[in-house]
Structure 1
Amino acid sequence: MGIFRRSTLLEHIAQIPNKMIPYVKKKLETLGIEKSTEKSWSDLSIDQELLDKLKESMDDINKYTNPIVILPNEKKIVQEIKTSVRKENVNNLTRTSAYLKVFNKYPEVHWALLAHFVSRNGGWNMTDLKGSILSGFLSERAQKSYFTFLERANAAIFHDAYPQLLLYEASRRDKKSYSHLLPVFGVSKFMIPIWEEFIRSKNSKLLTVALIINEQHYIEERIVQNHIFQENVFNTWQYQVQEAFHLVHVLFPYATKSSIRRIAGHKVVNFRNVEERVNIGKQLYLILFGIPVIYKECYFFAKENPHTGSREDYWPHMFSKGEQIKEEWHSCWDKGKPFMYSPTLTHAWENIDNPEPIKGDWYLNKGKEIFKLFESNSMPGSFDVTNEYCKDLYEMNMIAAVKNTLD
């Protein structure tokens, strides 16, 4: 149920102007913070000569499609990686933790920290389905459908990406490239020259953008275009309301001198478009790694706050892992007792067995046209979404209140 269930909808509509005053006041403060915050990157660009070289290497795709000869020592590596993937691909909590462990060891692999935070957000979205934010907005059947979609996407990306990260670890350890083994794990041939270049040059931006492109295309036909998820998730009125009001963010909790942790991030719009998802991924990368204070504080947050799936992890003044304490709204900027229920993942959902992703190489259907997605992106003009997210919480609960009134 929404937080307004004890009062009439009309009473809360009348209070909207007063509720939004803190948002308006804090907007100017946000603009000041964004203007004064140092940015180490102005854009996300990759050397065109390098991209042309990689594009040419894809002309000889046949060299990557020949039968792979696995040497005895490589068989052991392959088996160890498959075992590790099964062990860590249990649920959103284990995946999120695994990404962070990789980044802690190899900070040049920027994508691992980005994946950690995107996966954290996936967990928060999963528990929202059982918490104050969405439980009164969705039927039990809809909750299950949304969770299954989020879980399958999270698990599929991990199934594809984590072997790549572990092969890189083996390559570092043995001081030789094992990129030729990527197809053994079902990874697209697109990633072989990318990893070979990264092992040689440690070009973090190239690898990160390539992994964003790869993972979003990996889930496109397997998950996003799946007719079951199209019908039970994307075509539902609840999803379309969230899209219409732009109510979904990927959040990066970071700290300032304020006693309330601020939030950086980016809106998620037009999720069904794979190129838009790639663009959002690149924008998130710019924010997380291109703004030193965001990187420093977010990395500190990740290390100091184990992922539980509850939004209490970053805003304990608003969210509680326990049941709702009270139902009276207070501003996101005011410290007080939490009143919105945000359960842990283990309390909200049981582990499920995800099917093996469908085999196939997405790149073979796309070809070199995909390289246009490496085009430069500018640093977003706005990166602090604290106020926007606070407003979104209020709007989601108003929508839930309207639904409850009409039911």
Structure 2
Amino acid sequence: MGLSWYQYASRLPLAMNLGKVRTATAPLPAQEQKTVERIKQETFAHNRDNIDRTRAYLSFYQKHPQIHWALLAHLVSRNAGWSMTDLRGELLPRLLRAKEQQDYFSFLERGNWLIFHDAYPQLLLYEESVRRQTNLFYLLPHLGVSTFMQAIWNHFWKTTDKELLAIGLIINEQNYLEEQVMKDTAYQNSVVRTIPFALQELLQLNVILLPHRKVADEQGSSLQLAGERVFHFASLPERISLGKRLYSLLFGAMNRQEAAYAWALEQPHTGSRKDYWPHLFHDVNDTAPGKSYQAKLLNCQLRQGTKRLFSPTLRQVWRPIHHEPPKELDWYKKKSDVWRMLTRTEETANAVEMSEAYCQALAKIEWAVVARTRILG
């Protein structure tokens, strides 16, 4: 961890020669065309909703643990699901209008869908390359994947550089998200520039959690929550930096990989925050309809006599939606200086244990709900 750009550049003399990267111009032989179509169909089949995507990442990592990014993607995708269900949970519906809830869900769902649409074909093509024992990454342009990733995968095929592949995928997916979602006028106006979106950052309510249980722990022992606060989500460099920090948390010096993987296998993803904190969250709504909200939390524990916070499963509250195809573009053609982004960031001490930070975020949301209830009656 912490390698400089110059050290990375010295490891990429061949892979970074984009003059050797093929583009999707010539027709494919029948076998390769069949491979491309199969990968597209399989990607579509697993891209139904956040639950399917998140499971697919974990299933792939089980077969190919050398692809670190797949485990990171699984855990981050869990967080996307939790954010989606928060919009229909105990607290946020008391702060956000129905249209704001729908707009936020569409924003989260579109991003989650797009990243899977772009990344999962890359994983399947790697799997097919391994099966056939030949480099098939020249097919990536036929799957709509950036020439940047063709260079990265070619390098990985030669060197098995797991870290650089993971960072390359982080850079690729965030640039892809930037072009497909963050620059979209509709999302800018409905989500990114809205007051609630700004308040989330101001109050530090956005936290990405990486639950992990030590393999030696007994079933049912308390989890640890590593993670990172999300600042300036609208900034591409900040999102890339966040991805690198999360990767360092998972695979860096502390190496939480095994503990996080053990928990992920043990606990299926439902979208409910009950998955990791069943002492605070329940996927059944125990609050009587129409009743004004009463504070439930005290120092991240339930007050005496109160019910757990409602955190529904994703499929309880959101149905799969139809997505329009992404714009056909290669973001890399506009980013000739992208290689400097391959530098690494070290894990910071205050970014390790996030239970307290998440408790504080919950308390702030509840405080806002209670204040609104008192004002409106």
TM-score normalised by the chain length of structure 1: 0.84
Q: 1:235 and 1:405 mapped to 2: Cα distance?
A: 28
Structure 2 residue 166 is the aligned partner of structure 1 residue 208: yes
2:37 & 2:330 partners in 1: Cα distance? 22
Q: Mapping of 1:81-96 within 5 angstroms? A: 81-96=39-54
Q: Does 2:306 match 1:344?
A: no
Label 1:211 to 1:350 Cα distance change in 2 as closer, same or farther (>3 A): same
Q: 1:334 to 1:372 in 2, by over 3 A?
A: same
Question: Contact conserved, 2:280 with 2:301, CA < 8 A, in 1?
Answer: no
How far 1:51 moved relative to its partner?
3.8
Contact 1:44–1:378 (Cα < 8 Å) also in 2: no
Any idea what the Cα deviations from partners look like across 1:264-317, whole Å, max 9, x if unmatched?
100111111111100000000000111556222210111111100000000000
Question: Which of the two has greater helix per residue?
Answer: 1
User: Are 2:247 and 1:271 aligned?
Assistant: no
For 2:192 and 2:133, the matched residues in 1 are separated by 46
Q: Give, in angstroms, the shift of residue 54 of structure 1.
A: 3.6
Q: How does 1:238-277 map to 2 (within 5 A)?
A: 238-255=196-213, 259-277=221-239
Equivalent-residue separation in structure 1 for 2:190 and 2:302 (angstroms): 38
Distance in 2 between residues matched to 1:370 and 1:358, nearest whole Å: 21
Match of 1:321 in 2: 283
Shift of 1:78: 1.1
The total of aligned residue pairs comes to: 362
> Match for residue 307 of structure 1?
269
Q: Distance in 1 between matches of 2:160 and 2:255?
A: 23
Letter in 2 for 1:309: G
Question: What per-residue deviation string (whole Å, max 9, x for no partner) do you get for residues 170-214 of structure 1?
Answer: 000000011000011110011111111111211111100000000
Conserved 8 A contact 1:85-1:159: yes
> Residues 79 and 190 of structure 1: is their aligned pair in 2 closer, same or farther, counting only changes over 3 Å?
same
| CA-CA distance at 1:401 after TM superposition | 2.4
Q: Which residue of 1 aligns with 2:192?
A: 234
5+ unaligned residues in a row in structure 1: which ranges? 1-40
Deviation at 1:223, TM superposition (A): 0.5
Task: Between 392-401 and 331-340, report the one with greater CA deviation.
Answer: 331-340
Provide Cα deviations, 1:102-138, integer angstroms capped at 9, x if missing partner. 1000000000000001100000000000002311111
Q: Aligned-pair distance for 1:69? A: 3.9
**SS across alignment from 1:359:** coil
- In structure 2, the partner of 1:199 is 157
Does 2:18 correspond to 1:50?
no
Counterpart of 1:34? none
- Partners of 2:110 and 2:79 lie apart in 1 by 15
- Confirm or deny: 8 A CA contact 2:55 2:269 kept in the other structure: yes
Partners of 2:44 and 2:250 in 1: CA distance: 29
TM-score using structure 2 length: 0.91
Which residue in the other structure is 2:256 paired with? 294
Contact 1:212 1:281 in 2 (8 A): yes
Could you say what secondary structure the match of 1:190 adopts?
helix
**Alpha-carbon contact 2:3-2:344 (below 8 Å) kept:** yes
Match of 2:74 among 103, 116, 124: 116
1:129 to 2:116 alignment: no
Distance 1:53 1:109, change over 3 A: same
**Could you tell me which of 113, 137, 140 is aligned with 1:179?**
137
Structure 1's 225 and 73: CA in aligned 2 closer, same or farther, altered over 3 A?
same
CA–CA distance in 2 between the matches of 1:103 and 1:272? 29
Deviation of the 1:231 alpha carbon: 0.9
Q: What letter matches 2:233 in structure 1? A: F
The DSSP-based 3-state class of the residue aligned with 2:227 is: strand
The answer to whether structure 1 residue 379 and structure 2 residue 340 are counterparts is no
Distance in 2 (alpha carbons) for counterparts of 1:233 and 1:248: 14
How many angstroms apart in 1 are the aligned matches of 2:77 and 2:197? 20
- The one-letter code of the counterpart of 1:354 is H
More contact order relative to length (CA 8 Å, sep ≥ 6): 1
Q: Distance in 2 between matches of 1:124 and 1:130?
A: 10
- Secondary structure at the residue paired with 1:315? coil
Identity %: 37
2: distance between equivalents of 1:66 and 1:162? 19
Which residue does the alignment assign to 2:368? Answer: 399
Is 1:44–1:286's contact at 8 Å kept on the other side of the alignment?
no
Q: Secondary structure at the match of 1:324?
A: coil
Distance 2:130 2:90 in 1: 45
CA distance in 1, matches of 2:25, 2:296: 64
Match of 1:356 in 2: 325
Secondary structure of 2:373's aligned partner? helix
The residue identity in structure 1 corresponding to 2:32 is E
Whether 1:365 aligns to 2:338 is no
Shift of 1:327: 5.3
